[in-house]
Amino acid sequence: MKLKQLEGLLGGLTQFSDPKVELEQYATGPHIASRMLYTAENSFDDISGKVVADFGCGCGTLAVASALLDAEHVTGIDIDLQSLELAQENATDLELDIDLIQCDIKNLNLKGLLVDTVVMNPPFGTKRKGADMEFLSMGLKVAAQAVYSLHKTSTREVSSCAVYISNAIFVENIGAPKGITQFCTR
């Protein structure tokens, strides 16, 4: 799939009509989502034929992008039932098969599901300090191959902490606009 085609399909997804501020819900725009997943696939071969989990999937943008890029299996995980309903609607509209799990990321137990790649646009931690690190820490525990995550530049300490957790290698700003740090761990 071409990048512009992926971005166009993601641009047609239904987004939050009333995001929950306490959960730091915000839409992952089609521009950054398409570039993040397109790069993960075309530069690192981390999506097609892989088992992908989208942590804090919200309306399902990254999960949908993963499925469109031919992931073998996609699971979206979010604490908010309304978000999962929106993600299901988006997947159904594009005739995609995505499993959805309602769960607090701190209590995640995938019961034997082996995940190759974790993708996420976690809460930035502006409402609850460290929320982004809970997501990143769990992603590093779960992913067998790679983690792709979006973070505000004001949370750059995330990079050094992730390196400490797993000796991660970072590919920063792989197509992200200013204000966002995007990285892959291997």
Amino acid at 182: Q
Q: Residue 86: give the domain boundaries.
A: 3-15+24-185
Q: How distant, in Å, are the alpha carbons of 9, 60, 125, 176, 186 from that of 153? A: 28, 23, 12, 11, 21
Number of domains in the chain: 1
pLDDT at 124 (0 to 100): 65
pLDDT at 164 (0 to 100): 39
Q: Which residue has the tokens 């992926």?
A: 6
- Beta carbons of 60 and 86 less than 8 angstroms apart: yes
**How confident is the prediction along the chain (186 residues), in pLDDT tens digits per residue?**
999 999 999 999 998 778 676 666 677 789 989 988 998 899 889 999 999 999 999 999 999 999 999 999 999 999 999 999 999 999 999 999 999 999 999 899 887 778 999 999 887 666 667 677 788 888 888 888 888 887 765 554 544 444 434 445 454 554 455 444 445 555
Q: What is the CATH number of the domain that holds 42?
A: 3.40.50.150
pLDDT at 181 (0 to 100): 47
pLDDT at 163 (0 to 100): 41
CA-nearest of 46, 79, 78 to 65 is 46
pLDDT at 160 (0 to 100): 43
Q: How far is CA 10 from the centre of its chain?
A: 14
The radius of gyration of the chain from alpha carbons, rounded to an integer in Å, stands at 15
pLDDT at 162 (0 to 100): 44
For 72-102, b/e burial (b = at least 16 CB within 10 A) is ebbbbbbbbeebbebbeebbeeeebebebbe
Going 86 to 90 to 14 to 11, the CA torsion angle's sign is: positive
> Which residues fall within 8 angstroms of residue 42, CB to CB, at 6 or more apart?
none
* Model confidence, pTM: 0.84
pLDDT at 121 (0 to 100): 86
pLDDT at 149 (0 to 100): 83
Q: How far is it between the farthest Cα atoms of the chain?
A: 41
